[in-house]
Chain A
Amino acid sequence: GAGVSQSPSNKVTEKGKDVELRCDPISGHTALYWYRQSLGQGLEFLIYFQGNSAPDKSGLPSDRFSAERTGGSVSTLTIQRTQQEDSAVYLCASSLTRARPLDQYFGPGTRLLVL
């Protein structure tokens, strides 16, 4: 079946602009994660959604970052007033929480470049 999809694949923006990144999880997966992969920092957890529970936002680096998940499916990660240090690959993953131990399946990522 279809895997996790993300759009856009690449995004170039100017410093100070807002960007929205989209993630479509695997159908039926109730858990959704956002990670960021930047040079020198490796892969960092950003935020986690599970059903109707309050999201775990502990990984968001600043209040310029926010995410929402509508209808328990599609998620949007928004970065406001982008900075050059926001340049990274943003990865989305989903998992089927009826199964243990919740293997996460990753999307192809969105490559963000802030000029």
Chain B
Amino acid sequence: AQKVTQAQTEISVVEKEDVTLDCVYETRDTTYYLFWYKQPPSGELVFLIRRNSFDEQNEISGRYSWNFQKSTSSFNFTITASQVVDSAVYFCALRTQGGSEKLVFGKGTKLTVNP
């Protein structure tokens, strides 16, 4: 069975602070993909990043960075110098290859960035 755990339900930071959102996953498949989505108050899920299970190279995109570690089954997301516009619910998701390739989501972390 596949499972994604986002242990942090809510996080509140002050603008310009760095914040890390944790994601731990479970799967028995050797080929899988990990995702992060952002859901702002408007409600629409916005794709942020996709990583495959064979690529553990960390990625940086502007103020966003992702740390994928297969040894700990984690795919953590860090926002550097947070801004009020980063306030949203962030979802980590897992998808295995084959079949319907549905996404298995964590329950999300609500991030509030205060001015």
- Residues of A at the B interface (CB closer than 8 Å) are 31, 33, 35, 41-45, 48, 50, 56, 58-59, 89, 91, 93, 101-109, 111
The answer to whether B100 and A43 have CB atoms under 8 Å apart is: no
Q: Which secondary structure characterizes the binding site on chain A?
A: strand
> Is B103 close to A, CB under 8 A?
yes
Report B23 CB to chain A, min CB distance, Å: 13
Stretch of B14-22, B41-49, B63-71 with 4 or more beta carbons under 8 angstroms from chain A? B41-49
Give 18 A-B pairs besides A42-B107, A106-B44 with Cβ atoms closer than 8 angstroms.
A35-B105, A41-B107, A42-B105, A42-B108, A45-B102, A45-B104, A48-B100, A48-B102, A50-B100, A58-B100, A59-B102, A89-B43, A93-B45, A102-B95, A104-B47, A105-B47, A106-B37, A109-B44
Select one of B44, B45, B101, B106 contacting A102, CB under 8 A. B101
A104 to B50, CA, bound (A): 11
The answer to whether B52 and A104 have CB atoms under 8 Å apart is: no
Report A87 CB to chain B, min CB distance, Å: 15
Looking across the interface, which residue of chain A has its beta carbon closest to that of B101?
A: A102
Looking across the interface, which residue of chain A has its beta carbon closest to that of B107?
A: A42
**A101 with B106: in contact, given A48-B100, A106-B45, A108-B44 (CB under 8 Å)?**
no
